[in-house]
Amino acid sequence: NKAHSPHIETNRMAPERFVRMVQIFGRLTLIWPPEPKASNFEKCITNGAWYFTALLNVLSIFLTIRQLGKIDNDPVFLTRTLTILVIVGDSFFHLVLVRLQWQRFEILVHEVTDFLKAAKTYEKLVCRKYVRRYLGHHTFLVLTFFAGIATFFIERYVTKAEFPLDNLYSSLNDTEINRIFIRTLQYFMVLEPMCLLSGDFMIIMLLWYCSARLELLGESMHHVHDPIELRKCARRHENIISFVKETNLAIDLIILKSLTAVSVVILCAALQLSHRSKWPTLSQFFLIICVASVRLFGCAWAGDDLTEMASRLSWSIYQCPAIFRSLSLSKSASIIIQTSKRSLVVTVLGRNLVLSLRFFSRYSIKVVSFFMTLRACIERYV
C-alpha cells in the first residue's frame, strides 16, 4: 500500500479532491451546508443568496402557472410548459428540503471530510475505488445536462420557438427593462436545475462513504483475534449504522420528491417526443428524460452498493477467527450480523421501499407502462 501513496496524493481524482469538487458545486448551487466555523458575514451572504434564489423560483412558478391557463389547443406547447413547470418546482422544493436538513447535512458532510483528512493510505485506496466507480455517472450526467441547455439556446435562437414566459411581453408594458427581466428569468429557469444535480452528488457521496466504511470494517474483521479488537469493530459498526440512519432521515423526503417529480417530467417529455416537432425540441426533451433517469439511477446504484456491502460484511464476520473462541464473542458477532442486514439500507417512506437497482428497474417499468396507457387514452379520446 505504501507504494501507492504518492499516486494517491497526486492523482486528480483522489477522494478528498473529488469531495472538494462536489462541495464547490454544491456551494455554487446553494445546496452544500455552510461550514461550522463560517463567519456571520459568510452565513449572511449564503442566506441572502438562498432567499433570493427561492424568490426567483417562486416567481417563475407563479408566472408559468399563469401562462398555463392561456394555452388553447396547443398540446405541444402545453406539455413543454408543464415539463418546465415541474422541473422548476422540483428545483424549488429541492432547495427547501435540503435547507430544512442543513444542520443534519452539515454534520454528515463534516464527518466525511474529517475522515478523508485523517485517512490512511489503504483507506484512501478504498475510497478512491468508489470515486472512480461514480465518476463516470457524474460526468455523463453533467455533460447531458449542459447538452440540454445547449439545445435550449439552439431552439430559442435558431428555430425561434416560443417559450412559456414569452407571452408576458404582451401582458406587461413592452419596455426594454421588462424584456431583460423576462429573458433573465427564463435563463434562470434553465440553469436552476443544476441544484438537483449537486444535491444528488452530495447524497451519492454520503452513500458511497458508508459503503467504503463498511468495506474497511469487513477487512478489519479478518484480523480480529481478541475481544478488545472485536469490541472496537462493534463500535465502528454502531457509528456506521448511526450515520446511515441520519442519512436516511436527511434524504427520505428528497428522494420521495424526486421520484414524484421525475415521473411527471418523464411522462410530459415522452409525450412531447411523440409529437412531430423539430429536431432541437426532440433533442431537448430526449436529454431531459436522460438526465431525469440517470439522476435516479445514480442514487439507486449508491443505495444498492450500500446494501451489498452490508451483506458482504455479514459474510466477513463468519470468517473472523475470534468469534468461535468464546460464547460472548459469538454473541457480539451475531449482533453485528443481524444489525447489518436490518439497519444498513436506504429506505423511502420509512421502511416501505428500499432504494436499490431492483427498485429502480421496477419504477422504470411502471413509468413506461403508465406512459403507454396515457398515450393510448390521449389518442383515443383527444
Q: Among 82-91, 185-194, 212-221, 315-324, where is mean pLDDT lowest?
A: 315-324
* Range with top average pLDDT, 69-83, 162-176, 288-302: 288-302
- Per-residue pLDDT at 81 exceeds 50: yes
In 3-state terms, what secondary structure has residue 70? coil
- Per DSSP, 348 falls in state E
Of residues 86 and 12, more confidently modeled = 86
CA–CA distance, 296 with 282 (Å, rounded to integer): 22
Q: Name the band, by pLDDT with cuts 50, 70 and 90, for residue 335.
A: low
| Residue 339 clears pLDDT 80, i.e. is over it | no
Which residues have C-beta within 8 Å of that of residue 172, sequence separation ≥ 6? Answer: 178, 182
pLDDT grade for 351, boundaries at 50, 70 and 90 = low
pLDDT in the model for residue 5: 42
What sign has the CA pseudo-torsion 182, 186, 187, 191? positive
Across 86-99, average pLDDT: 93
Q: What is the pLDDT of residue 314?
A: 72
pLDDT tens for residues 236-245? 888 998 999 9
Q: In which residue are the cell numbers 463534516 written?
A: 110
Looking at residue 376, its pLDDT comes to 78
Mean per-residue pLDDT, 182-189? 83
Position 329 confidence tier, pLDDT thresholds 50, 70, 90: low
Give residues with Cβ within 8 angstroms of 134, minimum separation 6: 204, 208, 298, 301, 302
pLDDT category of residue 157 using cuts at 50, 70 and 90: confident
Do residues 88 and 61 make contact, with C-beta atoms less than 8 angstroms apart?
Answer: yes
Question: Among 69-73, 108-112, 210-214, 344-348, whose mean pLDDT is lowest?
Answer: 69-73
Query: pLDDT confidence of 372, banded at 50, 70, 90?
Result: confident
pLDDT at 42 over 80: yes
Q: What are the helix (H) ranges across the chain?
A: 5-10, 15-28, 40-68, 75-100, 102-118, 121-157, 168-171, 176-191, 194-221, 227-274, 279-318, 327-343, 357-381
Question: What is the structure's pLDDT at 168?
Answer: 54
pLDDT-derived band of residue 113, with 50, 70 and 90 as boundaries?
A: very high
pLDDT band at 37; cut points 50, 70, 90: confident
Q: What is the pTM of this model?
A: 0.88
pLDDT of residue 257: 92
Is it the case that residue 333 has pLDDT exceeding 80? no
